[in-house]
């Protein structure tokens, strides 16, 4: 595992530290021969990699690069619908199946709560009230008795604020 000290030294070398962090590491490097050695090793690695990649680039032949790109593009074919579905299933099949299973489970568990209890199934043949009378009709459900009671409430006094 890389120590915090080595991470800071690497970030300093890469130029990824802010001014304050860079100053702290620079002060530590000036007083610590071990850190100076590590910093020198990092510079040697950078030089070696740079030399190797520059050499590989110099030897590379890019003369027919665009003709190879054009050939590759011309040889490309679009995926069929079946191939697209298969690719999608390989990428997202497990996620989609998990989401569907979670949705089914949620619907199953929440089903008892989804029943609507705000409608009144009672049949009222007639209800005669005076104008301005407030009426309230509601049903009280009793799951333990598996029945319901309908209550009709008439209030002949108008609600507060509705008095003429």
d(CA 103, CA 93): 15
pLDDT at 6: 84
pLDDT at 82: 92
d(CA 93, CA 87): 9
pLDDT at 84: 92
120 close to 139: Cβ distance less than 8 angstroms? yes
pLDDT at 80: 92
pLDDT at 44: 92
In tens digits, the chain (164 residues) has pLDDT values of 668 888 888 898 888 888 998 999 899 989 989 988 988 998 999 899 888 888 888 888 888 888 889 888 888 888 899 999 999 888 998 888 899 999 998 888 877 666 655 555 566 666 677 777 776 766 666 777 677 666 666 666 655 665 55
d(CA 47, CA 41): 10
d(CA 55, CA 49): 10
d(CA 45, CA 15): 16
């Amino acid at each position: 595992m890389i120590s915090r000290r080595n991470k800071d030294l690497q970030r300093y070398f890469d130029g990824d530290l802010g001014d304050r962090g860079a100053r702290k590491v620079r002060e530590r490097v000036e007083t610590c021969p071990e850190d100076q050695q590590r910093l020198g090793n990092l510079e040697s690695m950078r030089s070696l990699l740079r030399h190797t990649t520059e050499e590989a680039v110099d030897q590379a032949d890019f003369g027919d690069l665009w003709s190879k790109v054009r050939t590759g593009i011309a040889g490309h074919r679009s995926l069929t619908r079946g191939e697209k579905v298969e690719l999608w299933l390989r990428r997202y099949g497990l996620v989609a199946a998990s989401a569907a299973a979670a949705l089914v489970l949620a619907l199953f568990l929440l089903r008892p709560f989804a029943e609507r209890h705000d409608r009144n199934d009672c049949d009222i043949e007639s209800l005669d009230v005076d104008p301005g009378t407030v009426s309230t009709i509601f049903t009280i459900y009793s799951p333990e008795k598996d029945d319901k009671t309908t209550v009709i409430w008439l209030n002949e006094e108008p609600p507060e604020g509705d008095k003429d």
